[in-house]
Structure 1
Amino acid sequence: MRKLIYGMNLSLDGYIAAPGDDIRWSVPSEELFQFWSDQLQATDLTLYGSKLWQTMSSYWPTGDQQPDATPAEIEYARRWRDMSKVVFSSTIGEVDWNTRLVTGDAVAEISRLKGEDGGPMDIGGATLAGAAMRAGLIDEYILATAPVLVGGGTPFFSALDNWVNLSLVDTRTFPCGVILTRYETRR
């Protein structure tokens, strides 16, 4: 059975985007960017909600061709383009870059994918991850908590029907002040 990982940058008050979908505060340092790039390399399949897909697909398909792209960004763009991705959306008509579109029941499809052989899967997007959380499908949480309070916006965690008990497996502090914590779901 595959492991499902939900990880994102978030503010100290728990938001992945400030009001108006503002994510300017979450631009990662070189070290944090390298962490996320290494995480991408270790991932077999990434699952996206439509909003995050639109953000990622608006930049990363050609991110390595930008005149100011760093070597790390070039590497990330190539990894992103080549890896398998699934987008869950009823509003997007088509997807590219080694991506499959699912318009049906997201929880059922994520459950099916988890049951397949293969490496870890990442899930991104608050709405999609929230549905997977409520269904008890998330195995690991990675929180890259930035030293900023944004006061509202899109929360990392959605409302849950039941408690989810977690075990801390790793902490790391980045020079930019971001604290990374990793938790596994206790079953």
Structure 2
Amino acid sequence: MNVSLDGYIAAPGDDLGWSSGEGPDSSSSDELFQWWSDRVAATGLSLYGRKLWEVMSSAWPTADQRPGASGAEIEFAGRWRDLPKVVFSSTISTVDWNARLVTGDAVTEITRLKAEDGGPMDIAGATLAGAAMRAGLIDEYLLVTYPVLVGGGTPFFAALDTWVNLALVETRTFPGGVVLTRYETRR
């Protein structure tokens, strides 16, 4: 997920402008966008919390039909639509765009999905990721850190009962000082 240098995925008021090209000196880049698109293409299943699902499903299902859509946006929109998705929410009643809705316990369902071994899964959304973190279900943490301090908002990491030891397996710097770090969980 995108994260500010001070550890937030959204600024106060659920503001994502600092990571979406709207904030001052936002440092968005074609190279980073392509990396995200390739990540979607390599993912077998994407798990969404409600808030991030609403952001993504309002933008990407038809983004390739917008006048002036770039080749990269067209590619990403198609990949996103084709990607199987599970949305976890108790407040919405329907989902679309190759998604299914789970209203029950997220930890139980994520545990079941991991046992199926249907390929790599990504978890998107702070509340959902936090529940998976606390249950020890995350094998890899992938942070795309933006060089911005937002001062508060929705934290990237949930409060944990025990330490989680990690091993750094990849770093990459994108234009504008955006840094990818990927860690594997040491078990």
TM-score tier (shorter): over 0.9
Note the 1:1-187 alignment, pairs <5 A.
Answer: 8-27=1-20, 28-187=28-187
TM-score, normalization: structure 2? 0.95
Unaligned runs of 5+ in 2: 21-27
- After superposition, the C-alpha distances for 1:52-84 in whole angstroms (9 at most, x for unaligned) are 100100011111111131111110000111110
* Equivalent position SS for 1:173: strand
TM-score, normalization: structure 1? 0.95
- After superposition, the C-alpha distances for 1:79-111 in whole angstroms (9 at most, x for unaligned) are 111110000000011011111100001000000
Partner of 2:24: none
Match for 2:89: what amino acid? S
Per-residue deviation, 1:142: 0.8
**Structure 1 segments of 4 or more deviating over 6 A?**
none
* Equivalent position SS for 2:101: strand
Match for 1:64: what amino acid? D
Q: CA RMSD in A?
A: 0.7
Per-residue deviation, 1:117: 2.8
Q: Which has the higher contact order (CA 8 A, sep 6+)?
A: 1
Percent identity between the aligned chains?
A: 77
* Equivalent position SS for 1:176: helix
Give the distance between the partners of 1:160 and 1:70, measured in 2 at CA.
41
Per-residue deviation, 1:162: 0.6
Unaligned runs of 5+ in 1: 1-7
